[in-house]
Chains A and B, each alone.
Chain A
Amino acid sequence: MRNQQYVTITHYKEREFYFLNHAIQAHDGFISKEMEQFHESEKDKFIERIRVLQSQFSNTQIVSISLTPNQVVTDHEDKNKASAKIFENNYVVQNNIDIGNIPTTLYFSPFAILYEEYKKKLDSKLTLLIGLFDRKLYIMFATEDKIHQSWVIGTRGLTEKQVADRVYKSMKAYYKISYKFADHIEMLVTDESPKLLKVLREELSLNILLTQNSIHNLLHHMGGEQRRAMSSYIKSSLSQPRNSVENSINNDGMGQQAPLQAEAPMMAGQGQATMMNPLNLNQGAENLSAMQDNALNSLDDIRLNNQSNGFSFLDKIKGLFGNKVKSNGANSTNSLNGLVSILPLVFVLGAGLYFSNSNNQILDNMALKESQSYAQTNNALLAMTSMDVFSAMGKSAELKNATISSSRIELKGIVWGIEPLRNSLNELYDDGEFVIKPLENFMTEFSFKSKV
């Protein structure tokens, strides 16, 4: 039997993990349940879990955060893009929301969350609001009526000190634009990193006020109340019209499952940042515009830039190897992945050993054939030399000793026809040394030496 409580199911993706949570919404706040974590490879399981939660409760909103860095705060709504209204006249606009198969009914921008978190503190004095979400700094200078400047800065791979340095740099950059320092600085940190908080406190002014809250809690808060949700959720050009969600919430009191189904952006896992053009809503003096240009240039080194500039190849490689296993579920998946990934290694080793052995074997066989071929040639030459020598002697001489090799010949014997033998041998070896020696028995001995 389905539970009638209103439940917000929150999820987002950071690095290669999906994080899922749900909370029972009550009049005096929400009661959050235990967070669940799924590896990317468990996407189906993750979606199934959302479906199960949906089926358990009749009134649900599935809430997620859009962590794309290409969100731009403007002073007009772009109907062709995904946009969310914040402040009276400001909109957070992004090109689109990735529509996928992860059920989501409400998306919120970090800027909207920042506004919601600090709107009561805003007044006519300039306040710097900084949100650290998924290693990206969402920064905006705001007063109670509007946002004056905003941008997104990446901190991926940076140390806590470098993150603090970037926050400080952004403050300086804004000073270069407006010649104003923020009167008040608020920072919302969603990473549960005591070290980061400590460093931020140490490196930045003591005036900076740090708040730490989890993305899930922020989302439960955003989706927990109908008016709040409607006022600042991102409306996709591909999603249902605004009133479908509004009606859905209205019809069910605390909110009912809206028909909007859109995939949560996967910025964290994708890790690809695109440039967010800082918004300058100050339409003041012309010289201010020129100064802004100069100052914005000075942000080039810290601002999340386009893909080619924002992340070097080294960063991508680091990204590939920088992921850490966080949960038991992920551990088991990774173990399975590890086992599966051994297969190519086994295949490579097997193929390598096979070809290595086969190659050695064929090299041995080839060396044998080479030797055999060489020996055959050498033997044929020897046989030819032997044949020539015996043919040359014919009946003119009788051989006593002979040494025949492929490089020299030495002959000794009895000769009866000296001139025919000399001529025959000289025909074969014209530089040979032919010597005759009369013997006591009236016979003549000959010797012949030559190089072949």
Chain B
Amino acid sequence: MLSGLKNLSLLSKIIFLLSLILLFIWVIPNMVSYYQNVQKYEVKAKELKNIAMKANIEGEAKRFNPEDFQYDLEEFFSRVEVTSETENIHQVTIEIGKDKIDEFNDFLETLSLRYLVKVNGALEFREQDKNLEVKMTLQSL
């Protein structure tokens, strides 16, 4: 190999050496890291998929959109308000009948499997006209 390298011109040798350096300090570490991360990603994705399947949720979680989210929730709860404080922070108020608390808990349990959001802070429950009003802050992922 060394004799082959010797046959090359100085410029070719420099380029060849540069290629080798880049290969070893940049390409190979990136390649190794990439394949390791792909494996980790697949494990995590499969884990979430299994949880979603147990909850009878099909498909990937959706990007959070306030309008769509409100529209979807109004199907299950009597009143839903979504107020976006910032692009990623949304204040959500849901009014549920006291007998519907189990449905709310089910909804909460699978929220992040349906939408790419997380609950920031605490849930605030307040009695409101014989119903329960729940306030929570959602943050888009």
Contact (A348, B19) CB under 8 Å given A334-B12, A356-B30 = yes
- Taking the complex as formed, is A320 at the interface, i.e. its CB lies under 8 A from any CB of chain B? yes
Taking a contact as CB atoms under 8 Å apart, the answer to whether A348 and B2 are in contact is no
Q: Give the chain B neighbours of A39 by CB distance below 8 A.
A: 7
| Chain B residues in the interface with A (C-beta under 8 A) | 2-3, 5-16, 18-19, 22-23, 26-27, 30-31, 33-34, 37-38, 40-41, 44-45, 47-48, 51, 61, 101-102, 104-106, 108-113, 116-119, 121-127, 132, 141
Tell me the chain A residues, 368-382 only, with Cβ under 8 Å from chain B. 368-376, 378-380, 382
Contact (A387, B45) CB under 8 Å given A337-B12, A380-B109 = no
Q: Give the chain B neighbours of A356 by CB distance below 8 A.
A: 26, 30
Could you show 23 A-B contacts with beta carbons less than 8 Å apart? A16-B6, A16-B7, A321-B10, A335-B9, A337-B9, A341-B13, A341-B16, A342-B15, A345-B18, A349-B22, A355-B30, A355-B34, A369-B41, A372-B61, A375-B111, A379-B110, A382-B108, A383-B109, A384-B105, A386-B108, A390-B105, A403-B125, A405-B121
Interface string of A314-339 (1 = CB under 8 A from B): 00100111011100001001110110
A345: min CB distance to chain B, Å:
4
- Taking the complex as formed, is A270 at the interface, i.e. its CB lies under 8 A from any CB of chain B? yes
Q: Give the chain B neighbours of A338 by CB distance below 8 A.
A: 9, 11-12, 15
- Taking the complex as formed, is A253 at the interface, i.e. its CB lies under 8 A from any CB of chain B? no
Determine chain B's interface SS by DSSP, over half rule: helix
- Taking the complex as formed, is A35 at the interface, i.e. its CB lies under 8 A from any CB of chain B? no
Taking a contact as CB atoms under 8 Å apart, the answer to whether B37 and A363 are in contact is yes
B82: min CB distance to chain A, Å:
17
Taking a contact as CB atoms under 8 Å apart, the answer to whether A358 and B48 are in contact is no
Q: Give the chain A neighbours of B34 by CB distance below 8 A.
A: 355, 358-359, 362
Taking a contact as CB atoms under 8 Å apart, the answer to whether A345 and B15 are in contact is yes
A-B residue pair count with CB separations less than 8 angstroms: 178
B112: min CB distance to chain A, Å:
4
| Chain A residues in the interface with B (C-beta under 8 A) | 16, 39-41, 269-270, 316, 319-321, 323-325, 330, 333-335, 337-338, 340-342, 344-345, 347-349, 351-352, 355-356, 358-359, 362-363, 365-366, 368-376, 378-380, 382-384, 386-387, 390, 398-405, 408, 413
Taking a contact as CB atoms under 8 Å apart, the answer to whether A341 and B45 are in contact is no
Taking a contact as CB atoms under 8 Å apart, the answer to whether B18 and A375 are in contact is no
In the docked arrangement, what's the CA distance between A348 and B15, Å? 11
Known pairs A359-B34, A362-B41, A369-B44; list 15 more (Cβ under 8 Å): A333-B9, A338-B15, A341-B11, A341-B16, A341-B19, A344-B15, A348-B22, A351-B27, A352-B22, A356-B30, A358-B34, A378-B118, A383-B109, A387-B105, A401-B124
